[in-house]
Amino acid sequence: MFLFIFDSPVQIAMVIGVIVLLFGAGRLPQLAKSLGQSRKAFKEGMREAEEDDAAHPIAISANSPAPQITQMSDEDLMAEMRRRVEAKQS
For residue range 6-54, list pLDDT tens digits in order.
778 888 899 888 988 888 878 888 888 998 999 999 999 999 988 887 7
* Structural domain harbouring 3: 1-57
**Residue 65 shares a structural domain with residue 53:** no
One-character DSSP codes across 16-55: HHHHHHHH-TTTHHHHHHHHHHHHHHHHHHHHHHHHHHHH
Evaluate if residue 4 carries a pLDDT over 80. no
Say how far apart CA 24 and CA 18 lie, in whole Å. 10
- What pLDDT digit, counting tens, does each position of 45-86 carry? 999 988 887 777 666 555 666 666 677 788 888 898 899 898
**Residue 42 shares a structural domain with residue 69:** no
pLDDT given for residue 67 in this prediction: 62
**Residue 52 shares a structural domain with residue 31:** yes
Instruction: Say how many domains are in the chain.
Output: 2
